[in-house]
Structure 1
Amino acid sequence: MALNFHQLHIFFTVAERGSFSAAAQALHMTQPAVTMQVQSLEDYFGTKLLQRSTKRIELTEAGRALMPFAQRSIDLIRDTDTSMSKFTKQLKGRLQLGASLTIGEYILPRLLGPFGQEFPHIAISMKVMNTAQIMEEILNHQLNFGLIEAPVNHPDMHMEAVMSDELWLIVGKTHPLASSRQLDLAEVLEYPFVLREQGSGTRLVMEEQLKNKGFDPANLKIVMELGSTGAVKSAVEAGLGISFVSGSSVKHEVALGLIHTIPINGVNFKRQFYSIYLKSALLPISAVTFLTFLREKDLQQWL
């Protein structure tokens, strides 16, 4: 019997997940099939790799020694897929992903057209939801990967910055600040705000930047919290308050003169958008191809 990557991947997933049943669910395999592959790997090396108990799987000394090699084999396959994705012009398949609200509503629609022209045989299925929902669906194996607006920490998740964005201060056309060419942050914070809900990626980035500049976000005059960027824009346009939103989300309103964007002296709200997926997962080549497209293309030509 020869050593193969499939067995190393299964062993790594069992070790990370802590049980054969959890690994089977993650790999879309039956539990007996997972057990058999790990036993075959143990037979190949002639030693036990996992200690089985009623509570949790634990690595033996040999298992601990094997783990970094299993990890490197997974990384090598991922790197291979990434490199080869540049040549997959005739690739067929379904791209299934989750996107947080700003990305899904305003960013990706402008990118999926160019991607579809380059890879016309990949069908795209996108769910737009908040970051917590995306993570839950990835953990439950309902989504392959997601694109989110703020970094998250989860022991089972791999996260990588794939796009950049910037928040802009927006005001309605009749607002007292509408004629301003530039403002100090202290001036801006004197006015009522309409903001996204607590926990949204946009709100987290804004609050973090305010803290960096020595302002406590708790002192903002918040008159309304809304669950979507579209609702925030409508409220600002109606004169209910001012806000910070992605510059990509207000191009239409700015062009029509309904909303004004104003730079703030010495402050920028630049941020990264991130891809997330399970550390133990190997993404389908369609997903790898799309992430390579995001990393390597000049996306601003479409945004």
Structure 2
Amino acid sequence: MAINYHQLHIFYTVAERGSFSAAAQALHMTQPAVTMQIQSLEDYLGCKLLVRSTKRIELTEAGETLLPFAHQSMQLIRETEQAMSRFTFMLEGRLQLGASLTIGEYVLPRLLGPFGRQYPHISIVLKVMNTSQIVDEIVNHQLNFGLVEAPVQHPDLVSEAVMEDELKLIVPVGHILSGRGQVELEEVVSYPFVLREKGSGTRQVMEQELERRGIDLGQIETVMELGSTGAVKSAVEAGFGLTMLSPSSVKHEVALGLMEILDIKDVTFKRQFYSVHLKSALLPVSAVTFLTFLREHKLLP
């Protein structure tokens, strides 16, 4: 084991933000994941770096010594990437990646074209599959990296946020809510819903936010649970109920006048899309370039 940039970045962010929770939010990581990385760094160095208390964390003498080196390493990485960026247009090779269903079917297709025009000599092989399959293929060195809808907890993998998305209320044209633009949450949950299956990333984001808003999930009438976004859209179009989906997945239906995207007043259902790759392997420059391209092309307006 050796000190890696990822751990130094986390340590610096914790020191800068003053708490594990604030650092976790800034890094788009879970707080336990931040704590685990700090503990791993402390175990490797053989000393404590932070004094943990109920209030703001404080650096030990060892932590104070490490902090400027962590800052220098971050600056060096940024300068290196900037210096090498002028060569990226000459990149070539084969890039193999996996993507979960929503990302692979609705997000990436409209971005692969612009990327291909900008980097015509990079050949992309995209596999659309569920998160567990992506993890298996990365661990077995069959994929360079994957794009998923939630951070992956795996001892051999690193998850990093690359894009932000937001679920919206989707209604069929002609529904009683259609044409209103914005609706109240209490009114929305009184109508039947068509949802993805339990455990799907899309449904988890919706349910977590509703629970945070004090909504009893048991009061929501779920008339259908379906295993794909396409099936959900077909059921909504047929008038079986409302749903929550990414606007990226209904662009075609909205353009055809079949569905409408509505806002729920004072409620947002934001989520991150994550890249996943092996801790022990450096990503090829083509993969780093592709992820940089994704970060620069926001889904949200």
TM-score normalised to the size of structure 2? Answer: 0.71
Q: Which residue does the alignment assign to 1:285?
A: 285
Alpha-carbon deviations, 1:203-244, whole Å to 9, x = none? 111111111111133432111111211111111000011100
Q: Which residue does the alignment assign to 1:181?
A: 181
Alpha-carbon deviations, 1:123-164, whole Å to 9, x = none? 000011122221222122221111111223223221111111
Q: Which residue does the alignment assign to 2:114?
A: 114
Cα pair distance change 1:216/1:142, threshold 3 Å: farther
What is the rounded CA distance, in whole Å, between the counterparts of 1:274 and 1:284 in structure 2?
17
Q: Which residue does the alignment assign to 2:140?
A: 140
Deviates more, 1:146-155 or 1:253-262: 146-155
Structure 1 residues not aligned, in runs of 5+? 1-10, 14-62
Contact 1:78 1:282 in 2 (8 A): no
Q: What code does the residue aligned with 1:195 have?
A: L
What is the rounded CA distance, in whole Å, between the counterparts of 1:136 and 1:80 in structure 2?
34
- The Cα of 1:259 is off from its aligned counterpart by 0.5
Structure 2 residues not aligned, in runs of 5+? 4-42, 47-65
Pairing 1:217–2:223 present: no
Q: What code does the residue aligned with 1:116 have?
A: G
Q: Which residue does the alignment assign to 1:271?
A: 271
What is the rounded CA distance, in whole Å, between the counterparts of 1:175 and 1:135 in structure 2?
40
Indicate the SS of the match to 1:115: helix
Pairing 1:249–2:249 present: yes
Q: Which residue does the alignment assign to 1:152?
A: 152
Cα pair distance change 1:285/1:78, threshold 3 Å: farther
Indicate the SS of the match to 1:113: helix
Indicate the SS of the match to 2:183: coil
- The Cα of 1:89 is off from its aligned counterpart by 0.8
What is the rounded CA distance, in whole Å, between the counterparts of 1:250 and 1:146 in structure 2?
23
Q: What code does the residue aligned with 1:259 have?
A: M
Contact 2:173 2:258 in 1 (8 A): yes
Contact 1:81 1:288 in 2 (8 A): no
- The Cα of 1:179 is off from its aligned counterpart by 3.6
Q: Which residue does the alignment assign to 1:205?
A: 205
Indicate the SS of the match to 2:290: helix
- The Cα of 1:115 is off from its aligned counterpart by 0.7
- The Cα of 1:181 is off from its aligned counterpart by 3.0
Larger Rg: 1
Q: Which residue does the alignment assign to 2:128?
A: 128
Contact 2:2 2:44 in 1 (8 A): no
What is the rounded CA distance, in whole Å, between the counterparts of 1:86 and 1:274 in structure 2?
26
Q: How many residues align?
A: 237
Alpha-carbon deviations, 1:76-101, whole Å to 9, x = none? 99768744245211111111101111
| Deviating 4+ runs (over 6 angstroms) | 74-81
Cα pair distance change 1:194/1:287, threshold 3 Å: same
RMSD of the TM alignment (CA)? Answer: 2.7
Q: Which residue does the alignment assign to 1:168?
A: 168
What is the rounded CA distance, in whole Å, between the counterparts of 2:299 and 2:212 in structure 1?
27
Cα pair distance change 1:86/1:259, threshold 3 Å: farther
Give 1:7-18 correspondences, 5 Å limit.
none
Q: Which residue does the alignment assign to 1:105?
A: 105
What is the rounded CA distance, in whole Å, between the counterparts of 1:282 and 1:80 in structure 2?
18
- The Cα of 1:119 is off from its aligned counterpart by 0.6
Cα pair distance change 1:183/1:192, threshold 3 Å: same
Deviates more, 1:233-242 or 1:85-94: 85-94
Alpha-carbon deviations, 1:162-209, whole Å to 9, x = none? 111111101112322224332111111111111111222111111111
What is the rounded CA distance, in whole Å, between the counterparts of 2:264 and 2:228 in structure 1?
24
Deviates more, 1:137-146 or 1:214-223: 214-223
Indicate the SS of the match to 2:270: strand
Cα pair distance change 1:97/1:218, threshold 3 Å: farther
TM-score normalised to the size of structure 1? Answer: 0.71
Cα pair distance change 1:12/1:143, threshold 3 Å: farther
Contact 2:164 2:298 in 1 (8 A): no
Contact 1:195 1:244 in 2 (8 A): yes
Q: What code does the residue aligned with 1:286 have?
A: S
